[in-house]
Amino acid sequence: MNKITNSQEFEEVIVKLKKKDSPLFDQLTVQMEKAVRIPNIGKPLRYALKNRRRLHIGSFVLVYEFFNGELKFLDFDHHDKIYKKYK
């Protein structure tokens, strides 16, 4: 079993999302479960996000990393915003 952690930023996003958009939160939960079962399922990212992976959920992106048996969910935001955060 892998160790699963969340970044502080991701925790804040989850709390807001659960209150504001329950269907999107449910879709996020499904994708998180997929990432836990198969950590390499997401597309590998490049440049500033190297060594991280992403899963699309509609127009939103879940960014996570898997390293040394630890799965860490880093961020979740709209596609247009998330990549600008990490430039």
Domain of 59, CATH number, reads 3.30.2310.20
Q: What percent of the chain has pLDDT over 90?
A: 90
Strand order in the sheet with 60-67: 3-6, 70-78, 60-67, 53-57, 43-44
Mean pLDDT for the stretch of residues 8-16 = 96
pLDDT at 2: 73
Longest dimension (CA), the chain: 34
> How many domains is the chain built from?
1
pLDDT at 1: 55
Q: What are 33-72's pLDDT values in tens digits?
A: 999 999 999 999 999 999 999 999 999 999 999 998 899 9
The model's pTM: 0.92
Task: Residue 10: give the domain boundaries.
Answer: 3-85
Mean pLDDT for the stretch of residues 4-12 = 96
pLDDT at 27: 97
